[in-house]
Chain A
Amino acid sequence: MIEWLFISTGLFLGWSLGANHAVNVFGSAVSSRMVRFRTAAVVAGVFVVLGAVVSGGGTTRTLTTLGAVNALAGCFTVALAVGLTIAWMTKIRLPVSTSQAVVGGIVGWNLFTGSPTDTYSLSRIVTTWLVGPFLAAVFAFAAFKIVTAVLRGRRMHILTLDAYTRTGLLAFGALASYLLGANNIGNVMGMFVPAVPFGDVSLGGLLTVGGTRVLFFLGGLAIAVGILTYGKQVMTTVGHDLYKITPLAGLVVVFAEVLVLFLFTSETLEALLLQAGLPTIPLVPLSSTQVVIGAVIGVGLAKGGKGIRYNVLGRIAGGWVVAPIVAGVSCYIALFIVQNVFALEVVRTSSYVITPEVRSELSQRGLDSQPLAQLDGKKIIGSAQFRQTLQRIQPWSEKQMVILFDCADLDTLVVDTVQAFTQREPLPLSPQQHRSLAAFHGATFEHRWTLDQALARADSSWREPPGTLPRKHVIAFLQLRERLYEIFRIRL
């Protein structure tokens, strides 16, 4: 029951995302009366849930690498702080991005708990915030030019054009809803993934649905409810000025939005790019509001650049800076209150230990571990304490901190092959992996990486697949390892 209370803030976040973002997929269609609100809301609701459940994994992983909020009370507080930030900023009419507020919230959690922030992931996310709207503007500009040139040549009747535009708005709106669900479910439920409160759910014994999928389904449902209950109000107020464009321009905007969301969401595209030896596009939760604003500007420029209100743009850009900062600060304050006033665990208490073995691993990973020799054998409880101890020795960059936390994390694992081989949802083990794992039955490992290394030494099938392989394989491998940690972890 307590799980429901904790994830309620995630559901609230989902609801507010649905209410605020329905306008980005069906805003122009509904405000121009091309599509009825009820039709739009039902289509958007169904496709958002589908997108969240079917393709919601990619962007979530990026968020969890940024910071794994690993205690339910922590998730609750972060989601609450972010949700309230969004509600407040919407109230004072500042354009707000759920993605940015969520990232701000996670960084706030990292700062409060002393957990390291993966600066590489953070820089990738921040870069896409700039690239997303820019790409949308470019796509919308090009698409608008092409569409007008084609229409000029085709001499299409206004009613035929109307029928095509209507169908296009509905089709691309559905696609955009699917991608919104897939891309933004990470914002809503991403932070609950490391602390997933549900077990696997069996559907009539035929199909087993993982806890994460259940979480995504609930998040998708919350977004859909947001669209149905409050989407109309937002469409007729907030969306009115921003999306007062012709239905055809609206179609171009949604098309550009679909393209950009697809680029930053699709794991299939990523696999194809890898296969072709091309650089991949990071799978990051984007702000659909910003993407749409970028696309509207693109269409405006294609029409000659007149009518673009630069003061409004300045205000929007200001919102992009303010949102993560406000969310981060409010999250920090909320965590302080929840931890100290309500005495709830906002971060899973982890222990860290420095041993010669750990130092050797740190050296392997390119860190000068000699100064840490003074900590040999010392066990430090709590991430904040560990960070303070490390900082007392010498200053470390966030990148080095990520490695230090990973190597020193005391996560005792006892290999129990009976448990591992009798899972309700069987582990996807190859025969070699099965054999080599069986040989370790009863063995104990102090850190996750020590188990990884032991297995890799025993059989090459346990070595991490190279980055040149499709990400799907790499992710499947990492997920398998995560499941093993879960099964073998000793809970104190």
Chain B
Amino acid sequence: MDILLRKTLNLEHQIDDYLDLVIRGALLFKEGLKCYCTGDIEHFTAHLRDLDAIESSADALRRAIETRLYSETLIPESRGDVLGLLESIDRVLNRTAETLTQFDVEMPDLIEELKPLFMELTEASMAAVESMVSAGRSYFRDPERVRDYINKAMFYEHEADNRGDQIKRKVFRMNIDLSWKVHMRYFAYHIETISDEAEDVCDRLAIATIKRSL
């Protein structure tokens, strides 16, 4: 039986590794933004570099998984769902890396008063990503728990939206240049979008899980 499952187990590990990379990406984003807020640019740059490397590895791993799923005609009934899932999860990681890169490119001057809110927004957004990854893992092993993680992810996505709105409301009531206001809104919007992407993944997962139970 071991011989029979050796190839399968290998692929299972690859999927787990891929999801681990997404979690590590989220953690790096959180730490990177923390460094940016405290002005520790050296560590911020190091985290950004790591995140970029993770994003590239995740892309390579995803392609390897997809190729094997196709070439070995594995899980024919759920293959479409799984491939779609992996690609939408990849979009979350891409958006995470892209947002942190934008910080490096545009070096936004974060208003001191808004920094705690930006951190809360980041926490909520990354919590949504982590719950999404847990839901993804459960889809593969324990579909009954997917619903719990989806609910968690939805909750954090809503929290992220609230924090984003708070930032936008505050910033547009401040007496500063409009360009600065728009810049702050732009970054709040981008961090928020990460949780929106995570929510899209969860919507896919909910349908895929129902299909698995039929």
Contact = CB atoms under 8 A, between A and B. Distances in A.
A33 B4 CA distance: 18
B144 interface: yes
Given A167-B4, A246-B214, A162 B142 contact: no
Interface in A142-176: 152, 155-160, 162-163, 167
Contact of A158 (B5, B73, B78, B144): B78
Given A152-B144, A156-B141, A157-B141, A246 B77 contact: yes
Which label, helix, strand, loop or mixed, suits the secondary structure of the B interface? Answer: helix
Given A155-B142, A246-B214, A160 B5 contact: yes
A247 interface: yes
B75 A162 contact: yes
B142 A159 contact: no
A32 B140 CA distance: 19
A194 B115 CA distance: 95
Given A32-B76, A167-B4, A158 B141 contact: yes
Nearest to A31: B76
Nearest to A167: B4
Given A163-B4, A167-B4, A157 B140 contact: yes
Nearest to B139: A158
A159 B9 CA distance: 8
Contacts of A152: 144
B68 to A, nearest CB: 10
A273 to B, nearest CB: 33
Interface residues of B, number: 21
Contacts of B8: 157, 159-160, 162-163
A157 B12 CA distance: 8
Nearest to A34: B76
A152 B15 CA distance: 21
A167 B144 CA distance: 25
A36 B212 CA distance: 22
B178 interface: no
B57 to A, nearest CB: 21
Interface string B82-105: 100000000000000000000000
Interface in A16-44: 32-34, 36
Interface residues of A, number: 17
Contacts of A34: 76
B74 interface: yes
Contacts of B139: 158
Interface in A231-262: 246-247
B12 A160 contact: yes
A158 B140 contact: yes
Given A160-B5, A163-B5, A33 B76 contact: yes
B4 A155 contact: no
Contacts of A167: 4
Interface of B: 4-5, 8-9, 11-12, 15, 73-78, 82, 139-142, 144, 212, 214
29 contacts: A32-B76, A33-B73, A34-B76, A36-B73, A152-B144, A155-B141, A156-B141, A157-B8, A157-B140, A157-B141, A158-B75, A158-B78, A158-B82, A158-B139, A158-B141, A158-B212, A159-B8, A159-B74, A159-B75, A160-B8, A160-B9, A160-B12, A162-B8, A162-B75, A163-B4, A163-B8, A167-B4, A247-B76, A247-B77
Given A32-B76, A160-B9, 18 more contacts: A33-B76, A34-B76, A36-B73, A156-B141, A157-B8, A157-B12, A158-B78, A158-B140, A158-B141, A159-B15, A159-B74, A160-B5, A160-B8, A162-B8, A163-B4, A163-B8, A246-B214, A247-B77
Closest 10 CB pairs of A and B: A33-B76, A163-B8, A155-B142, A162-B75, A159-B8, A158-B140, A157-B12, A155-B141, A159-B12, A157-B141
